[in-house]
Chain A
Amino acid sequence: MTIQLSHFSAAFVFALFASIVFGITHRETPRDMIRYGAYCFVMFLGGVLVAGWAMWLVRR
C-alpha cells in the first residue's frame, strides 16, 4: 500500500508529529508541553509558508 502526500500535507504531518515529540521532551509540565508543542507546530508550518512565498517572490 502506497500513499502520495502533497508537499504541504507532508509538511503538515511532519510538523504535527515532530511538535508533539518536541513538546513532550522539551518541557516539564503538561501545560508547558502543550504550549511549546503548539509553538513548534506554528513555527514549522509558518516556516514552510514563509519559505514558499519567498521562493515564489524569487522566481518572479
Chain B
Amino acid sequence: MTNSIPPKNKPVQQQNASTISVLAPAVGWFIPGAGHMIQKRWIRGILLLVSIGTLFVLGLMMQGHIYKANGGDILDILGFIGDLGAGAFYIVSLSLNWGLGAIALATADYGTKFMIVAGLLNFIAVADAYHIAIGKKQ
C-alpha cells in the first residue's frame, strides 16, 4: 500500500505521523481518551474518558486523598505519580483544594485507591494512543 504513495508525499505523511505520535499521548494524558478521539477512535475515547473520569470522580466523592508533589515518604511519591496520570482531573482537583481534607469516612481509602488507579489506567491509555499513532495497533 505504501508503494502506491508518490515519493514526494512520503516525507509529509511521515511528518504527520510523527506529529500525531507526540500529540496523541500528550492530549490523551491531559484529557483521558482524547488521544484516541483525535485519531478518530471515538467510541474507545469516550469509553476511556467515562471509565477513567468516573473512577476519579467517585474517588473524590468517597473523600479520597490526593497526593501532592512534596516528596518525603516513598509511598506518597508513588501515590503522586499515580494521581498525576489523571491529567486535567488531577490538576483541577488540586487547584480547587479537593481531596486534601481530613479523612472522615471509613471507605475513604478506597477513594484514594480509585484515584490512583484512574491515573495509572490513563497511563496505559496514553501508551495505547501512542501505539495507534505509530501504526503498531489499529
Where the two chains meet, the residues of A that have a C-beta atom closer than 8 Å to any C-beta of B are: 1-7, 10, 13-14, 16-18, 20-22, 24-25, 28-29
Highest count of chain B CB atoms <10 Å: which of A1, A3, A13: A3
B110 and A21 form a contact (CB under 8 A): no
**Smallest CB–CB gap between B114 and chain A, Å?**
7
For B52, give its contact among A2, A4, A16, A17 (CB under 8 Å): A17
Highest count of chain B CB atoms <10 Å: which of A4, A13, A25, A29: A25
**Smallest CB–CB gap between B72 and chain A, Å?**
27
Which stretch of B19-27, B55-63, B75-83 is in the interface?
B55-63
For chain B, the count of residues having a C-beta within 8 Å of the partner chain is 24
- Report B31-58 CB contacts with A as 1/0, cut-off 8 Å: 0000000000000100110011011001
For A4, give its contact among B105, B124, B137 (CB under 8 Å): B105
In the docked arrangement, what's the CA distance between A22 and B120, Å? Answer: 11
A20 and B47 form a contact (CB under 8 A): yes
Taking A17-B51, A21-B51, A21-B121 as contacts, is the C-beta distance between A2 and B63 under 8 angstroms?
yes
In the docked arrangement, what's the CA distance between A27 and B62, Å? Answer: 32
Taking A14-B114, A25-B124, A25-B128 as contacts, is the C-beta distance between A1 and B51 under 8 angstroms?
no
Residue of B nearest to A23 (CB): B47
Residues from chain B with a CB closer than 8 A to the CB of A22 are 124
B124 and A21 form a contact (CB under 8 A): yes
In the docked arrangement, what's the CA distance between A5 and B63, Å? Answer: 11
